[in-house]
Structure 1
Amino acid sequence: EAKSIYSNQAVQMKELGVTMNLAPVAEAEIESNKLFLGTRTFGSVPKSVAYSMVCVRAYEENGIASVAKHFPGNANSDPHTGSVEITLSSSEVFKNFIFPFALILKSNPSCVLVSHAKINSLDENPACMSSFWIKEILQSRLGFEGLVMSDDIFMGAISDLPPEQVAANAIISGVDVIMLSEKKFLSVAKSLLNLAADDKFFATRLCEAEKKVLDFKLKKRIIKIEEN
């Protein structure tokens, strides 16, 4: 039944010209996040894994790019309004957050959205600006090769840093796509281009991100190469 529902959603989205849906919320519900996630989560680890995989496959098979979120997880505090710190031990994090994502990624979502949560037992940086979470865990350990997207950089969880710095730090850490909810992207874009002009390492990383976005759009037939 879920496969049919999500397949029909995908067909309708494609008819409307939509190419990506920022779904599903793949986080399982545990005591330390259920107040924030509420009805957005499928529930327990088994339910979250099963329904997320069905959702991802239904979207992808019908031409809609899916986005599994929010890796590695969240807490009960709301990242829209303030900082988020996950206080679980490293073993609890891997059991409740990383293990479910590892299974869900086997359904091949086009993109993974990374949260702003800090998990102090493993890394002091917000996940979206953490090479540990993106490069070491998501890409190296879990083998994810698709697009990596940040959560909205205007959210309260990271408001102690200017959005230009957050965007640069995120890209350096392995993010390919920066989410901006406000119409203030020009200053961010300019700062990234200026940084790339002065820093060869950053320019290389930015080009890698650009290539991944273009490869994704070609694969999903959002754009095509025309030969003269």
Structure 2
Amino acid sequence: MRALILGCAGPELTRAERQFFVETEPFGFILFQRNCENVEQLRRLTEDLRDCVGHNAPILIDQEGGRVQRLKPPLWRKAPPASLFGELYRKDPVRAEQAVRVNARLIAAELTACGIDVDCLPLLDVRQNDTHDAIGDRSFGYDVETVSRLGRAQAEGLAAGGVGPVMKHIPGHGRARVDSHFDLPRVDIAADILKEIDFAAFKALAGLPMAMTGHVVYEAIDPDNAATLSSTIIWDVIRTEIGFDGLLMTDDISMKALGDPLAVSSARSIEAGCDLVLHCNGNETEMREVAEAVPELSGEALRRAEATLSFMDRIRREAQPAPMDELLASYGELTGTAA
């Protein structure tokens, strides 16, 4: 297995993509709206992707709700943004946790029906008054307790439905004032404040199996490198302060925040301590460039990858299917709204 998670261009694999994936053997794949037409088509696509690599490869998606939702109505439910649950938490914490858990079960049911088994959630970025809208209402709230408790409930709900969670954007994207899809955010807050607030939300959930980095510079810790490319952030903060020993993937390596050629950013992220490089846009030329710069999984990265595959096997076996109508009714009761 190569230390890669890759996308594909459309709703079905081309011959060239199929051959490339067979040769490259990425650890997993990620899907976007361009890949998603209906349940039957997605099941064929996910089966084809796994056939290319010869194992039950994790297939990821960003199905958050709100603005970030790859499976969209009318074929799929319109899920709410995380902020809705944060607002409910201020009124009734227990009810909010239950609602998040049920909402995550609903998402998991839709994903597993399509052959998708990893959702890039929970988002654990603690929101600030000047947080860029790229995060905005995707965050559960403005304090560590709200974010960590609702994030845990979300991860538990996904896993109960047979879907693996990926916490993001470690060690915290909530203070970014620009969109890392286009620019490099720089955070100039003192390290002790970052530790108390931003990093703490991730520390509370450090036992989760997977995490995704943020392309953010934390000037008090490493003023020269975004977290994705910083051995200081990865080892001193993510692995030591936060205590995360799971599988660490980059955010999309093709985002403009990193600036360098893709091969350079990919190699630097692995050298800094990331286990996997994530490339999302499905551009074959770019994927080949990234693949040439990324090694096969080995050492501690391979150990973490194998542990993640074991975790995925376990939650698939232990998944607790629930009828959609029951979940929808429960969600409606907890939130006072239609699901």
C-alpha displacement of 1:64: 1.0
Please state whether the residue corresponding to 2:278 is helix, strand or coil: coil
Over the aligned positions, Cα root-mean-square deviation in angstroms equals 2.0
Please state whether the residue corresponding to 1:83 is helix, strand or coil: coil
C-alpha displacement of 1:150: 0.4
Equivalenced residues, count: 209
1:124-203 correspondence to structure 2 within 5 Å: 124=223, 125-159=225-259, 161-182=260-281, 183=283, 184-193=286-295
Asked if 1:18 corresponds to 2:96, the answer is no
Asked if 1:62 corresponds to 2:161, the answer is yes
Distance 2:191 2:243 in 1: 20
C-alpha displacement of 1:61: 2.7
C-alpha displacement of 1:67: 0.8
Which consecutive segments of 4 or more residues in structure 1 shift more than 4 A?
A: none
1:1-228 correspondence to structure 2 within 5 Å: 1-45=99-143, 46-74=145-173, 75-105=176-206, 108-124=207-223, 125-159=225-259, 161-182=260-281, 183=283, 184-193=286-295, 206-221=298-313
C-alpha displacement of 1:120: 0.7
Q: What TM-score does the superposition give when structure 2 sets the normalisation length?
A: 0.58
Retained in 1: the 8 A contact 2:182–2:255?
Answer: yes
Distance 2:140 2:132 in 1: 11
C-alpha displacement of 1:211: 4.3
Distance 2:204 2:302 in 1: 28
For structure 1, list consecutive stretches of 5 or more residues without a partner in the other structure: 194-202, 223-228
Retained in 1: the 8 A contact 2:132–2:179?
Answer: no
Structure number with greater CO (CA < 8 Å, separation at least 6) is 2
C-alpha displacement of 1:128: 0.4
C-alpha displacement of 1:118: 0.3
Retained in 2: the 8 A contact 1:65–1:109?
Answer: no
Retained in 2: the 8 A contact 1:19–1:65?
Answer: yes
Residues 219 and 72 of structure 1, relative CA distance in 2, 3 Å threshold: closer
Identity between Structure 1 and Structure 2 (%): 21
Higher normalized helix content (fraction of residues)? 1
Distance 1:136 1:101 in 2: 14
C-alpha displacement of 1:207: 4.8
C-alpha displacement of 1:53: 0.9
